[in-house]
């Protein structure tokens, strides 16, 4: 799973929940983080780690982010890798571990007690497309269905 996909899934998840998300390199002292989630009076530092990246380096980056005033810090990785991580370090430092599955669903892996508090993001793409299609169909007047309208246009052009 690419870093780009992980960023996309995370940004979509938090935007659906109503938060502002900034996915850009943010310089903090001697390190950089990959992004941040901004709420009312708080910010979460985000560090994206692909399956090939070293999580230990990410822990140092998040520790520095906490020192710079972030309320919370999280490492984002694949769900498979997140489930294999030893939770002791994350629990001791009060860090979040967020996993993204192959379909883009975001799940808070650590801390465990808060995993159920985050609601699901919006409906699937198929349901979103269906809702958009219904909205567009509602705009077309009933006397001008698409086939009737085409026939009218064709007969006008042929005259």
Q: Chain-centre distance of CA 136, in angstroms?
A: 27
Does residue 112 sit in the same domain as residue 88? Answer: yes
Residues 107 and 153 in one domain: no
Amino acid 127: pLDDT: 66
**Whether residues 76 and 11 fall in one domain:** yes
Whether 20 and 52 share a structural domain = yes
Residue-wise pLDDT tens digits, 54-83? 888 899 899 999 999 999 999 999 999 999
pLDDT for residue 91: 87
Query: Which domain does 147 fall in, by range?
Result: 125-158
Q: Rounded to two decimals, what is the model's pTM?
A: 0.68
Residues 101 and 144 in one domain: no
Neighbours of 35 (CB within 10 A): 21
φ and ψ at residue 78, rounded to 5 degrees: -70, 155
Query: 90 and 12, same structural domain?
Result: yes
88 plus 136 within the same structural domain: no
Residue-wise pLDDT tens digits, 14-63: 999 999 999 999 999 889 999 999 999 899 999 999 999 988 889 989 99
Whether residues 96 and 148 fall in one domain: no
Domain count, the chain: 2
Based on the fold, state whether residues 32 and 106 are members of the same structural domain: yes
Are 102 and 133 within one domain?
A: no
51: helix, coil or strand?
coil
d(C-alpha 91, C-alpha 76), whole Å: 16
Domain shared by 35 and 68, yes or no: yes
Shared domain check, 149 and 78: no
**Residue 35: which CATH number?**
3.40.1350.10
Tell me the C-alpha distance between 102 and 151, whole Å: 46
């Amino acid at each position: 799973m690419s870093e780009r996909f992980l960023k996309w899934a995370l940004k979509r998840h938090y935007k659906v929940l109503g938060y502002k998300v900034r996915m850009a390199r943010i310089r903090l002292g001697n390190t950089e983080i990959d992004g941040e989630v901004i709420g009312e009076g708080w910010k979460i530092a985000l560090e994206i780690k692909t399956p090939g990246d070293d999580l230990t380096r990410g822990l140092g980056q998040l520790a520095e982010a906490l020192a710079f005033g972030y309320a919370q810090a999280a490492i984002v990785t694949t769900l498979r890798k997140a489930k294999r991580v030893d939770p002791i370090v994350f629990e001791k430092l009060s860090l979040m571990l967020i996993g993204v599955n192959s379909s883009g669903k975001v799940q808070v892996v650590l801390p465990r007690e808060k995993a159920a508090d985050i609601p699901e993001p919006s409906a699937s793409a198929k349901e979103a497309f269906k809702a958009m299609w219904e909205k567009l169909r509602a705009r077309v007047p009933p006397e001008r269905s698409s086939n009737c309208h085409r026939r009218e246009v064709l007969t006008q052009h042929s005259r």
